[in-house]
Structure 1
Amino acid sequence: MKLKAFFLATALVCGAPAVASAQEATTSVNVGVASSYQFRGVNQNADDTGQVFGGVDVSAGAFYVGTWVSNVDFGSKANLEVDLYAGYKPTIGPVTLDIGVLAYIYPQESDLLIYEGKVAGTVATESGVSLTGSVFYSPEYGKNGPSYWYYEAAVSAPIPGAKIGPFGLSAMASVGSQTFESGATLPDYTNWKVGLTAATEGGWAVDVFYTDTDVDNDKLYEGKGVIQLKRSF
């Protein structure tokens, strides 16, 4: 509980400068639909009825706060996920850091609540190639659950000269690893994703990707192709 309180307090501290600098704040909104909700290679919608999501982000300088909402289906009472997050993105040389906290909230099933701390670094080249490494930690996976670490490396790169109408094309790929504390009943696993993004300057984007894990004989972890339409403004 002390670690949970620490993460929550950190979120409030990170968000305070953004609130204090409201006159300098910028707000962005995103909404979208997807054929499936896949998170770190794991299916978050057991019935594969699709995903509808949306979020709001507020930034002031290097500080940011935000929320994001999506439908879920774990075969339990939970049918809604509400994420809250806050952080700080300083730039050190060629690296943009992202130091933040996240809360994954399921209003119909509070025992599923998860807090995470995050440290990430991104390097972007003049050609548009972006490389990101991230580390996440949670002291408790749901109520009385095990602690875990999640590591991820991701890359995205524009495809020179590739366009479909107003949509410019870029490629993306990532690999991640989830590791639970010793003795946990949940499996440690590796996941990966590869795909294409088609985006316009007006904020429309279509993602087509395939994701899979190294966990066998479990429907939640099996490979899946996904198409997603998103609008940001």
Structure 2
Amino acid sequence: MKMTTTLSSLITAGLLIGLATTSTHSQAVELSGDITFTSDYAFRGISQTDEAPAIQGGLTLSDESGFYVSVWGSSVDFGGEGTLEFDVMLGWSGAINEEWSVDVGVMRYGYPNTEFAGSNFYELYGSLSYQDFTFGLAYSDDYYANAGTYFYLYGGYSYAITDNLALDLHVGQNEYDDSAASYLDWSIGLSTEVLGAGLSLAYVDTDIDDCNLCDSRVIFSVSKSF
């Protein structure tokens, strides 16, 4: 049995558990969301919008136990092969102690108006955070465009320069079945908050050669949480 079938069953079971939790402990359930405008939607270093701006937004229903269900969407541009990404996540996050925290779950990447085979796929993810450091791993048994087994190993660090300005560092290794397709992505950015809106400016790059959508660029984003 393929993992995608198993993951679908897990998502269904998780949603049922979430609904049961909502009805039993309605006072412990919280709905939150965000909306973002970004000058370029770069996913793991590669532009998903042909280096054009994107509108993004998400909603998360979470329980005080740490379980959550999230939906997230973004405009995309795959050269006429799709204009929308819509993702669903089911996971759990929580603190191990005062310094360590964990986040694990399963995610379905969906492209509703994309017609080519393999555009939709599942991914298992997990991350461990210690103070301002985060280390994570994502895995898919059949990645985007039927690329086969895929791993994403990454690390991040956020350094508070001032009370309202942070330096954000990220590096990630993308590992495919076909090792020739594997690559490294990284970013260096600054983030702050002005009048209740989040602002970020980041330099994003990969080690992929001869790829316009993978070249270095500076990306500006503004977001609002609610």
Is the structural similarity TM-score above 0.5? yes
Give the aligned residue type for 2:135. Answer: G
CA contact (8 A) 2:108 2:122 kept: yes
Deviations 1:95-137 (A, max 9, x none): 211110011100112530021001111122xxxxx11101000
Matched, 1:90 2:97: no
Deviation at 1:225, TM superposition (A): 0.4
Q: Distance in 2 between matches of 1:92 and 1:38?
A: 31
Deviation at 1:214, TM superposition (A): 0.5
Q: Distance in 2 between matches of 1:44 and 1:143?
A: 14
Partner of 1:177: 173
CA contact (8 A) 1:33 1:51 kept: yes
Deviation at 1:32, TM superposition (A): 1.3
Provide structure 1 residue ranges, at least 5 long, that are not aligned to the other structure: 125-129, 162-167
CA contact (8 A) 1:65 1:87 kept: yes
Matched, 1:120 2:120: no
Deviations 1:36-87 (A, max 9, x none): 11111011011x3311011101100210110011010111321100010010
Deviations 1:126-178 (A, max 9, x none): xxxx11101000011235331100011001122235xxxxxx21110100000
Deviation at 1:9, TM superposition (A): 2.2
Deviation at 1:6, TM superposition (A): 1.6
Large movers: runs of 4+ above 6 Å: none
Provide structure 2 residue ranges, at least 5 long, that are not aligned to the other structure: none
Partner of 1:140: 142
**Cα RMSD for the two superposed structures:** 1.7
Aligned residues with identical type, % of pairs:
28
TM-score normalised over the length of structure 2: 0.90
Partner of 1:230: 223
Matched, 1:103 2:99: no
- Deviates further, 138-147 or 10-19: 10-19
Partner of 1:59: 62
Partner of 2:35: 31
Q: Distance in 1 between matches of 2:139 and 2:32?
A: 27
Secondary structure at 1:73's aligned position in 2?
coil
CA contact (8 A) 2:91 2:104 kept: yes
Partner of 1:215: 208
Q: Distance in 2 between matches of 1:146 and 1:153?
A: 23
Give the aligned residue type for 1:8. Answer: S
Q: Distance in 2 between matches of 1:215 and 1:97?
A: 31
Structure 2 vs 1, CA of residues 203 and 63 (structure 1 numbering), >3 Å: closer, same or farther? farther
TM-score normalised over the length of structure 1: 0.87
